[in-house]
Amino acid sequence: MATAPRDLLAAARRGDEAAYRSLVEPHRGELHAHCYRMLGSVHDAEDALQDVMLRAWRGLPRFEGRSSVRAWLYRIATNTCLNAIGRRPRRTLPLEHAPAADPAAGFGEPVTGTVWLEPYPDAEVEDGRAAPAARYERRESLELAFIAALQHLPARGRAALLMRDVLGFSAREAADALGTTVPSVNSALQRARRTLDERLPDRSQQATLRALGDERLRGIVDGYMAAMERGDVDAVVALLAEDATWSMPPQPEWYSGHEAIVDFLRRSPLSGAHRWRHVPARANGQAAVGCYLWDADRRLYAPAVVDVLTLDGDRIAAVTAFLGAEVPPRFGLPDALPA
């Protein structure tokens, strides 16, 4: 027989670690996603979540059950993230970091450190829609454009918007979590909504994917992978929107429009047939591709990149190529592909 939440809480407060895990584990996935939205980094979200779980365990004796366990955990998570934001620079994507680059100039040094947004594994995205009071679907609220726009909000405005418009908490619950008043939350929320309205595209990726349907989406992704594996630049560009962009964090360079992207792809020392293998993936609720580069010493294809594809109708409007051998395995993709 399942243990009632009240009994679990009582046992956890007495120091029963199994009861505590049963109490908090159902919320771990959504808390991780919340920390990612706040911080723009999977690594930072993982660190924050560990801190949240430790703080919750230590704070259990003081939790009197006047709010739900979920609301209590979100209060801890939100304030943990607010503290982290105060110690870190704002994360961004290359398109906001510098002007579009000239492909003839080649690559400069990668910009490392807590600078770039990181992609989010789809396996971590909670299925289903947000609470009725929320504005954004759960997957929509993890799209790259949404996460990038969030980083332009003041930290407390970011928290207010997420609690109200993504998680569906009431103004009173958000105010309690932030240690402020309902009018203050409402004011921060209105300012945050205006900022997001200015920065978000007219159509979300979720709406675009629903309009395309699974079969057409699969055709776009398969066509992209095949063209990249053949080193067929013309075929790749034929899939792109006219004003498409191509970026590669942690490289600061990015390219805009067909002419620049063609020049970049043809100049790249890593381009060419048989250098790459690809597998379909999902990231941030969007279509993505895991990219594996031929390693002649090991005679296999090694993980190198995850390309997150942003679509505009049936064309690719942006390729955000997150570089790093550690990135594909984080998405549940193979550690290597055979020759």
Q: Which of 59, 36, 56, 58 is nearest to 46 (CA)?
A: 36
> At 14, is the pLDDT very low, low, confident or very high (cuts 50, 70, 90)?
confident
Distance CA(128)–CA(138), nearest Å, equals: 7
Task: Write the CB contacts of 239 (distance below 8 Å, at least 6 apart in sequence).
Answer: 220, 223, 224, 227, 315, 316
* Strand pairing class (337-338; 315-323): unpaired
Task: Write the CB contacts of 88 (distance below 8 Å, at least 6 apart in sequence).
Answer: 39, 44, 114
Assess if residue 320 is contained within a domain: yes
Domain final residue, candidates 49, 70, 88? 88
Cα separation of the two ends of the chain: 52
| pLDDT reading at 1 higher than 60 | no
SS3 311: strand
pLDDT for residue 335: 95
Assess if residue 170 is contained within a domain: no
Instruction: Say if residues 311 and 301 touch (Cβ distance below 8 Å).
Output: no
Q: Which of 150, 124, 123 is nearest to 136 (CA)?
A: 150
Residue 33's CATH number: 1.10.1740.10
Q: Which of 311, 305, 310 is nearest to 330 (CA)?
A: 305
Distance CA(183)–CA(101), nearest Å, equals: 45
> At 114, is the pLDDT very low, low, confident or very high (cuts 50, 70, 90)?
confident
Q: Which of 267, 303, 263, 279 is nearest to 229 (CA)?
A: 279
> At 270, is the pLDDT very low, low, confident or very high (cuts 50, 70, 90)?
low
pLDDT for residue 2: 46
| pLDDT reading at 138 higher than 90 | no
Task: Write the CB contacts of 309 (distance below 8 Å, at least 6 apart in sequence).
Answer: 220, 221, 224, 286, 287, 288, 289, 316, 318, 319
> At 65, is the pLDDT very low, low, confident or very high (cuts 50, 70, 90)?
confident
Assess if residue 15 is contained within a domain: yes
In this predicted model, which residue has the larger pLDDT, 160 or 135? 160
Note the pLDDT tens digit of each residue in 170-201: 999 999 999 999 999 999 999 999 999 999 99
Assess if residue 194 is contained within a domain: no
In this predicted model, which residue has the larger pLDDT, 272 or 186? 186
pLDDT for residue 139: 86
> At 134, is the pLDDT very low, low, confident or very high (cuts 50, 70, 90)?
confident
Residue 297's CATH number: 3.10.450.50
pLDDT for residue 82: 97
Percent helix, percent strand, percent coil in the chain, to nearest 5: 50, 15, 30
pLDDT for residue 173: 95
This model's pTM is above 0.85: yes
| pLDDT reading at 130 higher than 60 | no
pLDDT for residue 145: 97
| pLDDT reading at 51 higher than 50 | yes
Domain final residue, candidates 25, 56, 88? 88
pLDDT for residue 124: 65
Assess if residue 150 is contained within a domain: no
Domain final residue, candidates 54, 88, 122? 88
The strand pairing partners of 311, in sequence order, are 316
Note the pLDDT tens digit of each residue in 20-33: 999 999 999 999 99
Assess if residue 119 is contained within a domain: no
Mean pLDDT over each residue of the chain, to the nearest integer: 92
The total domain count for the chain is 2
Report helix angle 182-199 to 171-178, nearest 10: 100
The strand pairing partners of 281, in sequence order, are 288
Assess if residue 152 is contained within a domain: no
Instruction: Say if residues 225 and 280 touch (Cβ distance below 8 Å).
Output: yes
* Residue 255, amino acid: Y
Assess if residue 313 is contained within a domain: yes
Q: What angle do CA 65, 74, 202 make, to 5 degrees?
A: 140
> At 3, is the pLDDT very low, low, confident or very high (cuts 50, 70, 90)?
low
| pLDDT reading at 288 higher than 80 | yes
| pLDDT reading at 249 higher than 60 | yes
> At 245, is the pLDDT very low, low, confident or very high (cuts 50, 70, 90)?
very high
256: domain range?
A: 205-338
